[in-house]
Structure 1
């Protein structure tokens, strides 16, 4: 009997594993098809064709080690970088003789192990976010503690520890000093977990509409396609009514313009074609979130329908307020204006 139960559990486990494997395979195949649209340019091995590539030695030439000795780790998330850093409060950064408040900047350290790593500097320059760039000598694998600052080798060369028994490896990283984007990723807000499922979905949908417009505008003005549509790469500004604990969407911003998330295009797709690509791309990156929240895939037409059926146009609350309860004076004025317009049409 015990053997029979064990066999059933094993068969069940293998069956579920097989389903998940097939699901992942289909999801990846769908992603590849989406990125193989005829208007997206890639090289022979499928990498992005981006401006400024093969320029690492030029872009990351100026040594910024001494200027960046005080930076603190902000986030070590990222496959192609050592992490994103910020300056301590009150520390300024000098750019072309001008002192810029450190809290308005972030610093990204790039591994420089790809010929495409120089692309990010060119792209940030195009969108007006790049403030400085160069290189930094830094202890290898540093960055596990957000409160620590990077150790910098004074001589810019390999050195040993004080005891002389252990060697310390120093590596050369590319440096990108850029304007700090406003907002946070949704999961970083303390009140995010307290929101109901409809409230979370409303906030994601409003974020998607804003980001979709920004990506399409970037595509039209720069002929570059932002493809790394991970929610961690989308910072959201919100407006908060501290009295009622209500949070409403304000604006969304893209971050991380590095390899391999930017592609060039042969032509600008029509809005309908772009919308299809955009939501397919986001659905791939948001698979875990949608599964956790039991959401179906997002689409442009779905946003309107869901807004009407689930009350997605209502204000967000992180306390004990129902999504459809209350409303600010501004919201009431907006409703009154809409009713006024309807009466004018009827008259």
Structure 2
């Protein structure tokens, strides 16, 4: 049996807990006490004052842009499928089997677009026109076996084929990390010129220039970089650029973006 003194002590202790709790300051859930989740450095880089909206934003599209997939294409004969190199915003890439409207088959890529047709697909067409890679767009009845065609047409874009391969498919890249770093460093200034000039001169920002979105041509003699270009203009990596932009701020942005997107 517990003593009377011990029982009284327990009662006093319990009462003191409830009394203290009743006078404690309540936890505040007012907005000023709620901390917003921090954005990533990559997201912050896309919040520069000179960067506008996604290229397919309604304010950047006109009636012609929104008619990009109204017509049914004639004379487009698909060739072999191509590797999408990990790109997500497409429903298949193909070579062209026959020449089309004065364009050699080997110089054209056919990109099948995911549905629905909306600002994302319209924005890509507009971006390709801006950088002069666009050939045509519309609806295509893709072939099936035995000379039959699909019942429902697929939205497609015909664009100029960018020479070369992604860096990972070059012989230099396969020689080890030292050569990978060397190649990436050689690509950087050339990609920088292209991206910065597009932003300043054409008011289009191509932000998704990781190494699977770049094609490079190396010389046969010493495997130096002969040409290099960004090849992905799809959602969500392309933005409008405000008229107030200046070259130094885009160059500074590129250096930071390169460190985040290009990891060797």
| TM-score (structure 2 length as normaliser) | 0.74
Q: Per the alignment, do residues 258 and 272 of structure 1 end up closer, same or farther by CA in structure 2, a change over 3 Å counting?
A: same
Find the counterpart in structure 2 of residue 42 from structure 1.
Answer: 53
Matches of 1:203 and 1:220 in 2, distance apart?
26
How do 1:147-158 and structure 2 match up within 5 A? 151=144, 154=148, 157=151
Q: 1:137 aligned to 2:148?
A: no
Q: 1:80 to 1:276 in 2, by over 3 A?
A: same
Equivalent position to 2:83, from 51, 57, 75: 75
Q: How far is the alpha carbon of 1:127 from its aligned partner?
A: 2.3
Distance, in Å, in 2 between the alignment partners of 1:118 and 1:73 is: 23
- 1:52–1:119 CA contact under 8 A, matched in 2: yes
Q: Which runs of 4+ in 1 moved over 6 A?
A: 53-56
Distance 1:50 1:209 in 2: 33
Tell me: higher relative CO, structure 1 or 2? Use CA pairs within 8 A at least 6 residues apart.
Answer: 2
Cα deviation, residue 286, structure 1: 2.4
Aligned length: 225
Write the distance in 2 (CA, Å) between the matches of 1:286 and 1:200. 11
The separation in 2 between residues aligned to 1:203 and 1:155, in whole angstroms, is: 44
1:110 matches 2:113: yes
CA RMSD between the two structures: 2.9
**TM-score (norm: length of structure 1):** 0.58
Q: CA-to-partner distance for each residue in 1:263-306, whole Å, 9 max, x for gaps?
A: 1122354443222211222222224x3xxxxxxxxxxxxxxxxx
Which residue number in structure 1 is paired with residue 44 of structure 2? 33
Within a 5 Å distance, the mapping from 1:55-66 to structure 2 comes to 58-64=67-73
Q: What is the match of residue 225 of structure 1?
A: 205
Residues 168-205 of structure 1: CA deviation (Å, up to 9, x unaligned): xx5x43211111111111001244211451x3222211
Distance 1:128 1:137 in 2: 26
CA distance in structure 2 between the aligned counterparts of 1:50 and 1:256, rounded to whole angstroms:
22
Q: 1:105 to 1:69 in 2, by over 3 A?
A: closer
Cα contact 1:53–1:116 (8 A) shared by 2: no
Compare CA radii of gyration and give the structure with the larger one: 2
